[in-house]
Amino acid sequence: MAAYGRIAGSGVLKTCDLNRILEALKLLLSPGGSGSSSLQITKRDVLLATLKSNLSDLEDKFLKDPHWTTLKLLRDEIANKIEWPQNSVDVTWSFTSQTLLLLLCLKEAMFCLAADFNPGKPNPRTPEAAPALSPDTLSISQQKTVQSVLQFVVTLGVCPYLMPGVGVPLRYKTEFVAVVQDLVRLDAAPSATRRLYSSCRVLVNVAQHASLGSLIFCHHFGDIAAGLCQLGFCPTKRKPQKPMEEVLNEEERALSRGALRDILDQVYQPLAVRELLILQGGPAQPCTDGKTQVGSLAPAWLRRLCGQLLSERLMRPSGVQAVVRGILEGAGAGAAGGSDAEVMAADWKKCDLIAKILASCPQQSLSPESYYEDICPQILDLFHLQDKLTARQFQRVATTTFITMSRERPQLAAKYLLQPVLAPLHRCLNTAEIPEHDVVPGTILVTEEELSTCIEDVFKVYVVGNEPLTVLMDSLLPVLGVLFSLYCFTKQSVSHIRSLCQEILLWILGKLERKKAVASLKGFAGLDKSVPSFHSLCQFRAATQGGIMITIQEAIRSKEDEDEALYQKVSSEQCQVEHLGDLLFLCQECGLAGDFFIFCLQELTQVAAEDETELKTKLFSSKSLLELERHQSLLVEGQERKLLILQLMAVLCERVSEQIFTNITQVVDFVAATLQRACASLAHQAESTVESQTLSMSMGLVAVMLGGAVQLKSSDFVVLKQLLPLLEKVSNTYPDPVIQELAVDLRIAIATHGAFSTKAVAVVAAQSTLNKRDSEGKIEEQQQTNYKRFTDVANSHLEQQQSNEKSNHQTGLKSDNTPLIPQEVNEPSTTTSQKSGNITTEELQEVLLSAYDPQIPTRAAALRTLSYWIEQREAKALEMQEKLLKIFLENLEHEDTFVYLSAIQGVVLLSDAYPEKILLGLLAQYDSSKDKHTPETRMKVGEVLMRIVRALGDMVSKYREPLIHTFLRGTRDPDSAHRASSLSNLGELCQRLDFLLGSMVHEITACLIAVAKTDREVQVRRAAIHVIVLLLRGLSQKATEVLRDVLKDLYHLLKHVVCLEPDDVAKLHAQLALEELDEIMRNFLFPPQKLEKKIVVLP
């Protein structure tokens, strides 16, 4: 269809000017008449008159202007070769025909210019110079002219002749296009089909030139494709119903079909997908007024055709990206994300639609397996796009498609999606066979890029997709051991995939069945060797780009290497157990941590029940050396398992919190495991105090549950009945008669579903509840007493300091200078009964000048006078608050103690009057660098701040956050003295706040831990530990509530200081803090028993 013959070798073509052709096109587009009227009929008449006038002007140019002769000859030569009528009664078709002829002339002229163009060789002396421009290149204005011409051609020559439902209707385009609908005469020759065929044929031919093709297809591809679909695929009628109707022959229809496939292969594939979707009747079309209109329903043949063509686009190389881009960009996301990218990323419905399209096997495919084999690699490539905005959308589509395919065809998804994604992890399993050529030490088994890509893809599919499908769970289950080993390795250093591994493990453990999850945890801990794990020959290593790679371990060549390998193995196993505890700490809400804790308790019971005498064998008694060696290896493995269980129990008891049990079943299992261990100890006659206390605690827990602390249901009693045999055994065998009686009573209460509860059960339950309340009351009373005692001591210290300052003040006045302080200042008056407003402006100015006097007694006396006036709320003094603050702050830098202490007192009194303004400025000055203020001045400002804190009293809680943040920033100051001072101030501030720190307790403890561990100066480390001691002593029994989330970290810090701190004073402080913490936890876990009776006197 596009095969118009080139007019190569024609002299007319070589002499034709490109600008002349564009001038002729401009002439056809020149406006005429007036279109200002709003009536439709007026616009129609004006447009018809303009088209006729422009055609007439063009013919006059050809006939009268000799410069246009060459163009006329070229146009006539091309017109003689075409096979479609050019003249018609319909003015619109005559205009379209002339425009199409000029476009063909333009195309031939541009080809001729490009063929004669011979660019010279680039000059090596000026490599930065731009290359010569081809003569067939159109300028910006020329491109605008061509675009306008194409708009007219498509509007007058293509759109009016499309069938209803084919393409976008004219009424949904611009207002001008809507006028054309009534302008075209379909009853005039040639027929509508012939006109459409001729227009599409010429446009496809003109598009052979690259520049013209981009202009045509970027704006009018949809209309041209709609015309070709109608010409080549619309079902034909045997006989036309009307005389003017014409049916194309089979050759013309075949040319139309071929042209359609050619332009579909030629254009940008997302554009082709988008236009085919519009032709199929998908999205609604916007109008000029911004409203959304719904077009006519596309015919059935067109919908089938578009579906077939879309399937062909999908089956091509990179077809998945083309389909996704076509749908997303058509929705407004833009080629690179666009302004609506964030909105598009959140549109899950659109992603589900694309996923369903990609997961559906088209009819053109040979089989679903072959389709999945071709499409799945492209879907996996969607995960790895680099552009951020586009990648976010494509990854969401890929995740949804991944899940949809796994749901609809799990076997094919496992083969073509999951296996490629998880291949790097399968490669290093202990069940995998490593090829001989890869067993060389140092060989990279999994590269850094492969491992990072694998973990990121698994995170996107499993965690982001969040669909616990069976095929997904079964595929990930074998490689969980490798994932956990990788997670443990990332915990040793900084890695960007640590959080991904943690999220994947938490997700899979939460979604798995509880038995499978516990089995996986057993494999992580090394208790179950049958669970696939990391290959013993493999090791993780840090890569050059900050990632991790998997290599083959180096061979052991010496005794030192063997010792180092053994040490690394032992330390790695210990770290894995600790990291498992960290992982279980995050799994408490789902109940997995409780189930695994109960499993470890049951294993511990089995360890206690084993009789060591049964494992001993007679040496050299009818056993060969091989059998003896095997037996010894079994004994070693058994001992390793016991040690591992004990280590697990220690880690779990240290890491998990008291909220580990989430339901009644877990509590009952815990009690059952405790009773079994007690019975096992009795069987071996190994009763101990710890066992007795544990047994009492567990039975007390059951008594509290039966006593009404928990609302029990009938199903809960079914679970509790599991304890009946164990309670019976305890009641028969335990030597303590009190526990025997309690066990019997508990059996009765459980068997009767709580209908009959003996007095012993009620007493135990009541004691447990009352002891807890009494202990809390005692803690609160003790804290109040301690706070009152601390307040009294602080007030007495403050009064003593103030009296000392007054004595110093009176001593300083004994000089030759005239005293500037009134008589009232010398009197120790503490009331405000004196009259205010008795100072004059002259007195105030004189005192202000004296504040800068070089004589120390005079300056100090002036500062004291100003402080007194501020305290008495003298109006004239308070009006100059900013100036007074400046005077006090400048005197803070004085080296004499008497002067700067007086300045400190003045700032404190001024802040008492205006705390909002003064305090924030002082905080900024305290937080400044060395360059602005000397260290001594900043220390003095710190003293001012602490006096302000004491003066504010309970109001200090309003300024809690800025004060704490300032002191925390002070701990990072380069000056060690300032760091120690900040920590000291922080400790006193916590005391003044009554340790009501709220959520900031995490920031404070993190800062204290970091300083105590990493600071180089001994004084700073001592100060940090001293603050911790203050926290524990001040909170006392409330520490378990206020410091609940950070108490474990503080305990680890104190243990670290005691073991590794070189300073003896810091060690002593840490040891005292540990003793305080030990006392707190003992009182919390084992509250003192109170044997008392309450006597009530009745009235």
- Alpha carbon distance, N-terminus to C-terminus of the chain: 116
What are the φ and ψ backbone dihedral angles of 804, each rounded to 5 degrees? Answer: -65, -40
In this prediction, residues 648-653 reach a mean pLDDT of: 83
In this prediction, residues 461-473 reach a mean pLDDT of: 91
Closest CA to 501 of 526, 478, 477, 483: 483
Q: Lowest mean pLDDT of 39-53, 768-782, 811-825, 1048-1062, name the range.
A: 811-825
What is d(CA 629, CA 639) in angstroms, rounded to the nearest whole number?
15
What angle do helix axes 368-381 and 419-426 make, rounded to 10 degrees?
A: 70
Average pLDDT, the chain: 76
pLDDT at position 771 is 45
Q: Lowest mean pLDDT of 162-166, 169-173, 316-320, 1045-1049, name the range.
A: 169-173
Q: Give the CA angle between residues 666, 672, 673 to the nearest 5°.
A: 90
pLDDT at position 608 is 60
Q: Which two tokens stand for residue 245?
A: 């109707």
Which helix (H) or strand (E) element contains residue 445?
Answer: strand 444-446
SS3 552: strand
Around Cβ 148, how many Cβ atoms within 10 Å?
Answer: 14
Q: Give the CA angle between residues 350, 354, 360 to the nearest 5°.
A: 145
What are the tens digits of pLDDT across the range 506-527? 999 999 998 898 899 888 888 8
What are the φ and ψ backbone dihedral angles of 548, each rounded to 5 degrees? Answer: -135, 140
Q: Lowest mean pLDDT of 340-344, 613-617, 741-745, 868-872, name the range.
A: 613-617
What is d(CA 1092, CA 918) in angstroms, rounded to the nearest whole number?
56
In this prediction, residues 334-339 reach a mean pLDDT of: 45
* 1021 neighbors 1061 (Cβ within 8 angstroms): yes
In this prediction, residues 249-269 reach a mean pLDDT of: 90
Residue 1022, burial from CB neighbour count under 10 angstroms (0-12, 13-18, 19+): buried
Q: Lowest mean pLDDT of 340-344, 454-458, 715-719, name the range.
A: 340-344
828-847 burial, b for 16+ CB within 10 Å, e for fewer? eeeeeeeeeeebeeeebeeb
What is d(CA 1038, CA 1040) in angstroms, rounded to the nearest whole number?
5
Residue predicted with more confidence, 778 or 455: 455
pLDDT at 764 over 60: no
Residue predicted with more confidence, 683 or 1079: 1079
In this prediction, residues 212-238 reach a mean pLDDT of: 88
pLDDT at position 834 is 35
In this prediction, residues 693-717 reach a mean pLDDT of: 76
What angle do helix axes 1001-1014 and 976-992 make, rounded to 10 degrees?
A: 150
Residue 927, burial from CB neighbour count under 10 angstroms (0-12, 13-18, 19+): middle
In this prediction, residues 958-969 reach a mean pLDDT of: 80
In this prediction, residues 951-978 reach a mean pLDDT of: 79
With cut-offs at 50, 70 and 90, classify the pLDDT of residue 229: very high
What is d(CA 489, CA 579) in angstroms, rounded to the nearest whole number?
10
Q: Which segments within 231-331 are labelled E, that is strand?
A: 285-286, 292-293
pLDDT at position 722 is 83
pLDDT at position 347 is 65
What is d(CA 338, CA 341) in angstroms, rounded to the nearest whole number?
5
* 675 neighbors 710 (Cβ within 8 angstroms): no
Give the residue carrying structure tokens 């000048």. 849
* 170 neighbors 157 (Cβ within 8 angstroms): no
Closest CA to 135 of 118, 151, 148: 118
What is d(CA 687, CA 432) in angstroms, rounded to the nearest whole number?
48
What are the tens digits of pLDDT across the range 886-943? 777 777 767 777 777 777 777 777 766 666 667 777 777 777 766 567 777 777 777 7
Residue 323, burial from CB neighbour count under 10 angstroms (0-12, 13-18, 19+): buried
pLDDT at position 458 is 93
Q: Give the CA angle between residues 713, 719, 725 to the nearest 5°.
A: 135
What is d(CA 469, CA 82) in angstroms, rounded to the nearest whole number?
63
190: preceding bond cis by omega (within 30 degrees):
yes
Closest CA to 147 of 198, 106, 185: 106
In this prediction, residues 262-286 reach a mean pLDDT of: 80
% of the chain at pLDDT higher than 70: 78
What is d(CA 203, CA 879) in angstroms, rounded to the nearest whole number?
86
In this prediction, residues 629-651 reach a mean pLDDT of: 79
What are the tens digits of pLDDT across the range 810-825? 333 333 333 333 333 3
- Name the residue type at position 1098: L
Q: What is the CA radius of gyration of the chain?
A: 45
pLDDT at position 934 is 75
Residue 444: strand pairing partners: 551
pLDDT at position 484 is 92
In this prediction, residues 34-41 reach a mean pLDDT of: 47
779-807 burial, b for 16+ CB within 10 Å, e for fewer? beeebeeeeeeeeeeeeeeeeeeeeebee
pLDDT at position 785 is 41
pLDDT at 760 over 80: no
- SS3 string of 141-164? HHHHHHHHHHHHHHHHHCHHHCCC
- SS3 string of 783-826? HHHHHHHHHHHHHHHHHHHHHHHHHHHHHHCCCCCCCCCCHHHH
pLDDT at 17 over 90: no
Q: Which two tokens stand for residue 1086?
A: 């084992």
pLDDT at position 312 is 86
Q: Give the CA angle between residues 639, 643, 644 to the nearest 5°.
A: 115
Give the residue carrying structure tokens 């292969």. 265
In this prediction, residues 18-38 reach a mean pLDDT of: 74
Residue 612, burial from CB neighbour count under 10 angstroms (0-12, 13-18, 19+): exposed
pLDDT at position 37 is 45
Most confident of the ranges 3-17, 74-88, 776-790 = 74-88
What are the φ and ψ backbone dihedral angles of 551, each rounded to 5 degrees? Answer: -130, 170
* 6 neighbors 111 (Cβ within 8 angstroms): yes
Q: Lowest mean pLDDT of 141-145, 445-449, 581-585, name the range.
A: 581-585
What is d(CA 1016, CA 1021) in angstroms, rounded to the nearest whole number?
8
pLDDT at 33 over 70: no
Which helix (H) or strand (E) element contains residue 539?
Answer: strand 538-542
